[in-house]
Amino acid sequence: MGKVLLVTGGSRGIGAAIAAAAAENGWSVVVNYRAGKADAEQVVTNIRSAGGTATCVGGDVSRECDVRAIFAHCLERHGRIDGLVNNAGILHHAGKLETFDLARWDAVFAVNVRGAFLCSREAVRLMSTRHGGSGGSIVNLSSMAAVLGGAGEFIDYAASKGAIESMTVGLAREVGAEGIRINAIRPGLITTDIHGSSGDPARAERLATTVPMGRPGSPAEVSEAVVWLLSGAASYVTGAVLAVSGGR
């Protein structure tokens, strides 16, 4: 059995692509989902059909009790955890900040930031050599929105991803001597159905002309960067935020 990787929000889009790519590279993958059980089970079936190892586990990463249960599943099924990808995230309909209510702001930060914090905390407790672990790697999913700001569309989402990048750098410095590497990927315009959540399913294609490479990216292109950061090939990389954005 290979090293064990937990991918949050792994039932579709970038998360599903990461799970598949990691399995192809020898990881035993735990696919987390919140509501898409059937999709997560299909991801697991696809991985197993290709000769990989995978299980799935439900749970809302914004809930502390759910996160503890997710990690308990990893330990029960695999006895260890070596990698974590904090991919779970939500996006609401595009709009200006003045129209947002507090419930929307809190919901975005609950999943996108609190979820990454809770999962990272549990992973560090298990991986840290200071606690008897054997080290590991965490990759956080940020967004080019953290740099561009999301004006007129989703400042709340952009702000949540800015928080992810700050946590990435801080935690990398905090646990660097404990055998754990922390990095982030900053995807640009990627063709996934998350754009439908903003009310503009064709957004990636519509904004393709703003990308120097002239096209949106694919989930597979993001997954390759994530798997590299998880791997020993990136053994001296920590605290990095890697843009996968076609130059945008």
Tokens at 220, concatenated: 């597979």
* CA nearest neighbour of 19 among 44, 50, 51, 49: 44
Catalytic residue among 147, 157, 160, 182: 157
Active site residue 33: no
Distance CA 227, CA 185 (A): 11
Active-site residues, by number, are 157
